[in-house]
Chains A and B, each alone.
Chain A
Amino acid sequence: MGEATAEPFETEPSAEVPEVELYHATSWWTKYVFSQDAKIIAIQYSVTALAAGFVALVLSWLMRLQLGFPDSLSIIDPPQYYQYITMHGMIMVVYLLTALLLGGFGNYLIPLMVGARDMVFPYLNMLSYWTYLLAVLVLLASFFVPGGPTGAGWTLYPPQAILAGTPGQEAGIILMLVSLMIFIIGFTMGGLNYVVTVLQGRARGMTMMRLPLTVWGIFTASVMALLAFPALFVGAVMLLLDRLLGTSFFMPAIVVMGQHQNYSGGSPILFQHMFWFFGHPEVYIVALPAFGIVSDLISTHARRNIFGYRMMVWAIVIIGFLSFVVWAHHMYVSGMHPYFGFFFATTTLIIAVPTALKVYNWVLTLWRGDIHLTVPMLFALGFIVTFVNGGLTGLFLGNAVVDVPLSDTMFVVAHFHMVMGVAPVLVIYGAIYHWYPKVTGRMPNEMLGKFHFWVTFIGSYLVFFPLHYLGLMGVPRRYYTIGDMDAIPLSTGMLNELVSIAAFVVGFAQLVFVFNMIWSMRNGTPAGGNPWRATTLEWQTPETPPGHGNWGKDLPVVYRWAYDYSVPGAEQDFLPQNQPPVRQGTRSTEP
């Protein structure tokens, strides 16, 4: 673009909202519990999501115990296995990843990064968190109802989800559907808030093309979630009606265990379309914030501008758009019309192009950088490895005919854990280590952080890489036990044992993380306002942790893009976004 740095803040009438009076908390309760401050809400979201995630982690141990040692350490029975697999999946995808990346990071970073005092609808924001908490509690309550939680698999496919052969058919499935509906209501409040804040709450001079990629990622993901979640909501309502009122939206005539059921005429595939119309964008709802955050981590810690910022923004937007026209690649062998395969295989492989470009730009940002191997940087590098691995196996599954033997096998499990389990979680950890000093004012312990990284990264690679080969041999997913399967050698049990051992080690390493977070809150070295010497606005707040209203008396004014690292001629190797240009006629610092 090549505009001179002196111009932008004069020519750009900013989208800034007029200064409005913030809600000021008057008591401890309204300040820390029923808080309307996005920063507190962010912490509430994050802690709740991580707590739910730990429940799901423990469930995964129990499953790995069964899969790794089916003869000696089989402590769960098949109904429990299917219940745990369902709860693990649903908690991790929706209640941990979506809530943490959007509700947690979105709330903390959007107002600070765009230079706003708070979200534009603080009360709604508070309501969003409490609705989310209710959804989590309803979900977890299903562990304590007769019959236990549902064992329908996280995809909740009818007819099986609401029939007697599936555990949790009594109350578990109802609580699951209700909890999802509550979650979606809560998310809609939060999501609208994030979108409107990014569009309307930006500080003077903060154009859309100066936004940090973190904000772009969260913004696009929020728009997508607002469009995708309604499909799940409607599907959940219809399934609930089928279960409670005996309607037949998804239920054809069926005979279960010799008993004719009172259903007829419904279509099970309809639910699959509705689920995946939500489910595929959901993958990118999780991935795009991670893409954005990791771009900022790499840029900051490599002391180099993100390579190809405009391409990165467009890639995020294009991926967001394309992700709505690829959903049926989950359904190549579902019995839908086979001609759909041509369309969805093509769109799916097209989406690989912008995704690959993002990977290139991340690694090209490292090129001729000044790479500091800090803990956040290590996690970012770990993300690239696991994401590239998982993304490439996506090319197998997206290609209709290759998907035929691999669909519904452990290959799929390995693929999505690598690409939307391990990869985003590594980003989340990197982001927590990165912004922890801003949130608490103290640095997390580096040695513990590095230990946590190496065990988590290598360990989870050892967990999920071998699983691909189980799937290649034909082991279907969601098998309580492999039993005597003709197509696989006996030694496969060993592979499963290895995976289970690695899973336990990785799981325990997360305790180191929890300890580090708690311990460093009091004992970490004081961080100062900008320990990573970063350019974005959240590091330029007058106080650390930022106070109520974020910016003191005056809102910041933005003069440059978010990636002015190592600008030639500048004294320091970073120029904060709110640092005015020194003199007229300096060379452009914006692409």
Chain B
Amino acid sequence: MALFGLAGLFIASRAADATFIWTGLAFTLISVFWIYNLIRISFDEAEGKRVRAREQVVPYTLLAIAFCSVLFHVLSPWWWAPIASNWHYIDNTINLTFWLTGIVFAAVLAFMAYCVFRFRHREGNRAEYEPESTRLEAILAIGTSFGIAAMLAPGLVVWNQYITVPDNTVEVEAVGQQWSWNFRLAGQDGRLGTSDVRNVRPNGNPLGLNPDDSHGQDDIVVEAEDLHLPVGKPVRLLLRSIDVLHSFYVPEFRVKMDMIPGMVTQLWFTPTRTGRFQILCAELCGVGHSIMRGWVVIDDEQAYQAWLGAQQTFASRASPALASSEGDSAGRPGRQDGGRAHAPH
């Protein structure tokens, strides 16, 4: 309990805003009262008074855990970042699940607290003998099944939306490698050319595009820089990796999918607001896992077209002179040295 109190003080002292201070102080107050109560009880005990509260530490703790957990959930500032894609359905399903499970958690703990309080051992007590009750067990089984179904059904509906890619999407490719992100957009012909890991050359062809495929020549290759996408247009991301497992994850978009060498995976979303969002790697990919960052910039149509016009195609990159001159002018904050994304140290 003292630990709890100290933690509360700690939070309050380091607080950046009002919510924090109050959360921290609430923690501390609770624990101070608690410790006071324990001391009071021990004095009562020493004076030979009838000890009442001592046995009730357990039920009170159970109630406090339920109460503090809910309080933390509601009051703490640690919550997901505002959504920036169409997947608010996922948020809704999570919130529904939080409500249902939260109620069950609090109910079980409250019931336990009541039992421990009411049926604690006292002289002469004897437990009731009741091996089973088919009726009660059936009611509980059916009730639980309904609760589960209430979470599963919307989950499956949204899952169906999540895996059903609409027809009007723009195809964009994201390729992971240790430890950076590369991207490819279709050129004038609107098609991505074929690719194969065996074609990968670190200089000139990092994505392994097939040099003989005419569709690939006008593809726009973005190497270790920000990916730009237009707001409001559904995007289908084709995901590849050239070395180990990675996972494309943008917390604000609520989407995630592993990238697997040897195959192409996909996900889709519609960006709903402009801004610059961080891409995190969510699948352990070696020692650089935590610094493998990239950025997606969601532009309005005008800014997007301006960015698109400044990009190089696969064919133009293959010509070194052209590539170096344009490469310099394209230098921007997200650009990294040696392929590493923003190292925090």
Residues of A within 8 A of B (CB): 78-79, 82, 151-153, 155, 157, 159-160, 163, 165-167, 252-258, 260, 265-269, 302-305, 307-311, 333-335, 338-339, 341-342, 345-346, 349-350, 352-353, 356-357, 359-361, 363-364, 366-373, 378, 381, 384-385, 388-389, 392-393, 395-396, 399-402, 404-409, 455, 458-459, 461-462, 465-466, 469-470, 472-474, 476, 478-492, 494-495, 497-498, 501-502, 505, 563, 565-568, 573, 590-591
Contact = CB atoms under 8 A, between A and B. Distances in A.
Nearest to B290: A479
Q: Do most interface residues of chain B lie in helix, strand or loop, or is the interface mixed?
A: mixed
Given A333-B256, A458-B3, A392 B148 contact: no
Interface stretch (B43-51, B245-253, B302-310): B245-253
Contacts of A341: 159, 163
Contacts of B104: 388, 392
Contacts of B79: 469, 472-473
B141 A353 contact: yes
Interface residues of B, number: 114
A489 B79 CA distance: 9
A366 B290 contact: no
A163 B243 contact: yes
B112 A591 contact: no
Interface of B: 1, 3-4, 7, 10-11, 14-16, 20, 55, 58, 61-62, 65, 69, 72, 76-81, 89-90, 93-94, 97, 100-101, 104-105, 108-109, 111-112, 115-116, 119-121, 125-133, 136-137, 140-141, 144-145, 148, 151-152, 155-156, 158-160, 162-163, 177-178, 196-198, 200, 202, 208, 239, 242-245, 247, 249, 251-252, 254-263, 265, 276-278, 280-291, 293, 342-345
A82 B148 CA distance: 37
Contacts of B69: 389, 465
B115 A366 contact: yes
B141 A357 contact: yes
B108 A159 contact: no
B119 A401 contact: no
A59 to B, nearest CB: 17
Given A269-B260, A473-B78, A591-B132, A369 B58 contact: no
A478 B289 contact: yes
A389 B152 contact: no
B280 to A, nearest CB: 6
A408 B282 contact: yes
Given A252-B261, A357-B137, A565-B127, A373 B289 contact: no
Nearest to B20: A491
B244 A404 contact: no
Contact of A501 (B7, B93, B343): B7
Contacts of B286: 82, 160, 163, 165-166
B217 to A, nearest CB: 22
B144 A352 contact: yes
B289 A268 contact: no
Shortest 8 CB-CB contacts between residues of A and residues of B: A252-B262, A474-B251, A483-B344, A165-B286, A591-B131, A160-B244, A338-B163, A366-B115
A305 B200 contact: no
Given A255-B197, A392-B105, A159 B131 contact: no
B144 A458 contact: no
A165 B288 CA distance: 8
A401 B90 contact: yes
B287 A370 contact: no
Nearest to A342: B156
Given A305-B131, A476-B280, A335 B263 contact: yes
Given A252-B261, A370-B127, A473-B81, 15 more contacts: A163-B243, A253-B261, A256-B178, A258-B202, A335-B259, A353-B141, A356-B144, A366-B112, A368-B127, A371-B116, A371-B119, A392-B105, A399-B93, A458-B61, A497-B10
A159 B119 contact: no
B97 A368 contact: no
B96 to A, nearest CB: 9
Contact of A368 (B4, B128, B132, B144): B128
A402 B290 contact: no
A305 to B, nearest CB: 6
A395 B97 contact: yes
B115 A388 contact: no
A573 B126 CA distance: 7
A556 B342 CA distance: 70
A491 B11 CA distance: 9
A342 B94 CA distance: 17
Given A345-B159, A482-B290, A502-B7, A335 B258 contact: yes
Given A254-B261, A353-B145, A399-B152, A368 B119 contact: yes
B108 A401 contact: no
Most buried by B among A167, A333, A455, A495: A333
B152 to A, nearest CB: 5
Contacts of A479: 289-290
B155 A399 contact: yes
Contacts of B3: 455, 458-459, 462, 501-502, 505
B112 A381 contact: yes
A487 B256 contact: no
Contact of A165 (B65, B155, B244, B291): B244
Contacts of A372: 121
Contact of A483 (B137, B151, B152, B342): B342
Nearest to B179: A165
Contacts of B344: 481, 483-484
A77 B101 CA distance: 39
